[in-house]
Amino acid sequence: MNELTRHFSTIFDNNFDELRSINEFIYNNPELGHQEFKACSILIDSLKKHGFEVTKNFCNIPTAFMGRYKSGNSGPTIAILAEYDALPGIGHGCGHNAFATTSIAAAIIIKDMMKDINGELLIIGTPAEETSGAKVEMANLGVFNNVDIAMAAHPTGEMHERSGHSQAMEALQFTFKGKTAHAAGNPYEGINALDGVILLFNSVNALRQQTYETARIHGIISNGGKAANIIPDLAVANFYVRANSLEYLKELVTKVKNCAKGAAIATGTQLVIENYETSFADLITNKELSNLYEKNLRSLGVTDIRDSKPSGSTDMGDVSHCCPTIHPYFPLCTSHLTGHSVEFANATIQPEAYKGIKEAAIAMALTAFDIYTDKNTLNKIKEEFNDNIKS
């Protein structure tokens, strides 16, 4: 471990009590997306304490914020992103309390080493990753257009994982409208909206054979009628459609919509199609940046770094289409954890979790140092981004 790494480790240790308090406070006060007022407040207070200029209500999102620290008049701009929303019923089963804590720790460490380095550091609080994905709105508003790199580290179980790939996703709601009638007495006078939904599911199931193996189409019937003796005049199905690229997602969404339109024609129902959640782009990991993070992680003595498992979708994908981005994973423990579970949530506040939090925070700080101090490194990262994204 070199002198710089030891210094970063000391900074983490000196702030450990505060970081643990943040982690446990957010864990004990789980808040759903766009309701994270307590989490937002404690994170902002910490940033202000450490000398960041903080913008509340960032992008007119009440539970978003941006902390900013600038040193000198030039240099790269690096953004560290934080998530802190919980899941309904199980609290922080995705570990976003540990996610936010790691981001704050990285920001504190990076700011400390910027005293003699030109550059700008942003720590951006991004609400509602589990649902509407505030990063999507931020990306659409151009927040990341002038950012040189963006980083965030997400908790998992067992071992560190490289930044990988997430699927592009569109959330579709299909509302079928028909006409009520007595199901036993005069069903022929009704128009069965539920038949439209059922036919949609059957059509989607038939479509699956003709889709890429990596694609995912999964849905539920959120409204199937009120009583078995009434022909339902309203039925609703919610679907997620996922694909490995935005291009194929667009093609697949068109096919799923056509399944619904065909079902409506066949059943004589009226159809309304709309998005019920924000759609996410696919995550495109910048390999140069990812390799740099991995090199720094290994310098801490970490030897077991694996490829990330196939995942769902994240609004970090939209960020990766705006600037070079990585989204690696750090372990909370040495055993297997199932995401979105109570067991995962409980693991975030165990003593063992802080080892992974510390390693990820220091690795991000070392990566930031390399980018601030080596123009050639940043040029290689940007060259890859321009080749992959903007070409």
The number of domains in the chain is: 2
Are 105 and 206 within one domain? no
Are 43 and 137 within one domain? yes
Are 185 and 138 within one domain? no
DSSP at 308:
P
Q: pTM higher than 0.95 for the full model?
A: no
pLDDT of 191 over the 70 cut: yes
Give the SS3 label for residue 332: coil
Are 325 and 357 within one domain? yes
Are 192 and 120 within one domain? no
Are 146 and 29 within one domain? yes
Residue-level pLDDT at 310: 66
Residue-level pLDDT at 312: 85
How far apart CA 193 and CA 236 sit, in angstroms, is: 8
CATH number at residue 230: 3.30.70.360
Give the mean pLDDT of 326-341. 94
- Give CA angle at 62 (354, 34), nearest 5°: 60
CA proximity to 245, closest of 300, 337, 352, 317: 317
Are 34 and 162 within one domain? yes
Give the SS3 label for residue 269: coil
Range of the domain at 25: 3-166+282-390
Which residues lie across from 119 on neighbouring strands? 71
Residue-level pLDDT at 391: 55
pLDDT of 78 over the 70 cut: yes
Residue-level pLDDT at 309: 76
**Domain final position from 220, 250, 275:** 275
Which residues lie across from 272 on neighbouring strands? 175
CB 377 within 8 A of CB 118: no
Place of tokens 């090199």: 295
- The CA distances from residue 263 to 165, 222, 230, 233, 273, in Å, are 34, 17, 20, 15, 13
Residue-level pLDDT at 25: 98
Are 251 and 125 within one domain? no
Place of tokens 């996703």: 169
Question: Rounded to the nearest 5°, which phi and psi values hold at 359?
Answer: -60, -45
CA proximity to 85, closest of 42, 47, 131, 123: 131
**Domain final position from 275, 307, 330:** 275
Give the mean pLDDT of 63-70. 98
Work out the mean pLDDT of the chain and round it to a whole number. 96
CATH number at residue 8: 3.40.630.10
**List of E strands, 130-245:** 149-151, 154-156, 160-161, 165-166, 168-177, 216-223, 234-243
Are 155 and 184 within one domain? no
How far apart CA 269 and CA 47 sit, in angstroms, is: 54
CA proximity to 361, closest of 100, 144, 142: 100
pLDDT of 216 over the 70 cut: yes
Q: What angle separates helix 96-113 from helix 16-28, to the nearest 10 degrees?
A: 150
Are 175 and 131 within one domain? no
Are 161 and 244 within one domain? no
Tell me the CA end-to-end span of the chain in Å, nearest whole number: 40
**Domain final position from 250, 275, 300:** 275
Are 159 and 300 within one domain? yes
